[in-house]
Amino acid sequence: MSRAITALLAVAVAVSVASCSNVLELSVGDCFQDWEGATQLATQQVEGVETVDCDVPHDNEVYALVEMTEASFPGAEAVETRAYESCLERFDSFVGTPYADSRLDFGALFPTDASWDQGDRTIICFVYDVEFLRLTGSMEDSGI
């Protein structure tokens, strides 16, 4: 298993709260801070994150959105596998360096059985520093 598999996180149906953005409204290029418990290895449900301008030191940057097209929820393991493979496939072209050579890692927010029933079909891929250092600026074509 790679270093990124531990960063995959489940997304529940999100409700916006003060100073947080609904995770289902994140777009490519959005930068956001870690949520409570983000560095733990357990799968969590994440409802909202604090988005910030990418010029502000931040923890994560969204680099890809992948739409799932299955008619019914394919199961948690299948969704997690699809998230890992999809995010890994898109990493090199966004960062501008091979994943194995980068100081960045990736994680994913992805649908759960419950959020699927609410229409959630999006895998959200994001990059972060492997040592959990804050990033400044966009990581697109950064080559790091």
Distance CA 2, CA 84 (A): 10
pLDDT tens, per residue, the chain with 144 residues: 344 444 444 443 333 332 467 888 899 999 999 876 555 444 557 767 899 999 999 999 999 999 999 999 999 999 999 999 999 999 999 999 999 999 999 999 999 998 999 899 999 999 999 999 999 999 999 999
* Close Cβ partners of 32 (under 8 Å, ≥ 6 residues apart): 21, 26, 49, 50, 51, 52, 58, 59, 60, 61, 62, 126
Distance CA 49, CA 42 (A): 18
Stated pTM of the model: 0.82
Give the domain ranges of the chain.
3-129
